[in-house]
Amino acid sequence: MTQNRRFTLVRRPHGLPQPDDFAHDTVPVPSPADGEFVVRNRYASLDPAIRGWLDEAPSYLPPVALGDPVRATTVGQVVASNNPAFAVDEWVLGLNAIEEYSLVRPGGFTMPIDPHTVPSVTHYLSVLGAVGLTAYFGLLEVGKPRPGETVLVSGAAGAVGSLVGQIARIVGCRTVGIAGGADKCRRLRDDYGYDAAIDYRGKSPAALAAAIREAAPDGVDVIFENVGGAVLDAGLLALNHGARVALCGLISEYNSAEGAIGARNLWQLIVKSATISGFLISDFLPRFAEGATAMAGWLAEGRLRVDEHVDEGIENALPAFLRLFEGSNQGKMILALGAP
């Protein structure tokens, strides 16, 4: 345990991240001071939110500093500890970085996990981690669906969207998903149980709005929004009176070199007495155990399908990350950071 390979940010991306925005370096593995411990990261979660952390812009977390490893949620094992709450060899989940070893200081977000209670330890980065809890609390607490209502999900084949659709079905709702491409729309129907699937590719905003109206002839009561831009605009035109929009992400705008695109049909919120609410999963931190217990129960009962796309090697961090924006990942995007 002498060298630590890292995936670092060396330039702020302008538009879609490029290879020259990053570097791979090797530094000594840190030694823990009092209260600290070192984690050997086994897997890193690659999420669209990372793109926002690369910009020098106000956000809920400070931007990744130039020269620092790119921030990411990881699961791994403690390899050195001066903190009595974290023993060597214990598995932990935490907000660390895309690097082989992370120094965890007191006050950081890290929690012990038990890999023996799940089919794969990577589930702590998908269905039992921030992804699953985002779907659970974002839909049930922000969207507040009622049995018999129609839930529209954009980015529906993604890690969060695929779970949102399944949870909506569990609580008795009709589900309509929007995704890109025939294969993803097939997966929405066959794998995730969506009642209707809409391929946004090749559709004008007007054609997309018409497709939503056809799939949801009685209107939409809840929108779980992951995409933004023209997709959100089209969904807003289908709102029922008193509808709720849970704003989870705006992935279509994250790499826009011209800046935010924005939504043009917000006036529909007035016309339909509807609401739109942004949220962060950290808003529900005191209730994480509740959400994880519910998701674990549905998983054990076979009511949730979980797909994970694992790419190997820290040297593949950038192409794996870019899959999120190409739409080439087939499930929750995870990077394996090497053998023990």
Tell me the pLDDT band of 258, cut-offs 50, 70 and 90: low
Share of the chain above pLDDT 70, in %: 98
Please report the pLDDT score of residue 340 as a whole number. Answer: 47
Residue 210 — φ and ψ, nearest 5°?
Answer: -65, -40
Report yes or no: 246 and 226 within 8 Å, Cβ to Cβ: no
What's the CATH class of domain 131-282? alpha beta
pLDDT in tens, 112-130: 999 998 999 999 999 999 9
For residue range 204-235, what is the model confidence (pLDDT) as tens digits?
A: 999 999 999 999 999 999 999 999 999 999 99
Q: How confident is the model at residue 139 (pLDDT cuts 50, 70, 90)?
A: very high
Q: What is the pLDDT of residues 55-103, one digit of tens each?
A: 988 788 899 999 999 999 999 999 999 999 999 999 999 999 999 999 9
Confidence (pLDDT) at 263: 83
User: How far apart (Å, rounded) are the C-alpha atoms in residues 198 and 86?
Assistant: 47
The yes-or-no verdict on residue 260 having pLDDT over 90 is: no
Kindly list the domain boundaries of the chain, sorted by start residue.
3-126+306-336, 131-282
Mean pLDDT for all residues in the chain: 93
Strands 174-179 and 308-312 turn out to be unpaired
Using pLDDT thresholds of 50, 70 and 90, give the confidence band for residue 255: confident
Are 145 and 165 spatial neighbours (Cβ–Cβ below 8 Å)? no
Pick the residue with more confidence: 312 or 255?
312
pLDDT of residue 60: 84
Write the DSSP string, 187-202: HHHHTT--SEEEE-TT
The CATH number for 3-126+306-336, chosen from 1.10.3720.10, 3.40.50.300, 3.90.180.10, 3.50.50.60, is 3.90.180.10
Give yes or no for a contact between 44 and 37, defined as CB atoms under 8 angstroms apart: no
Of 258, 237, 262, which Cα lies nearest the Cα of 247?
A: 262
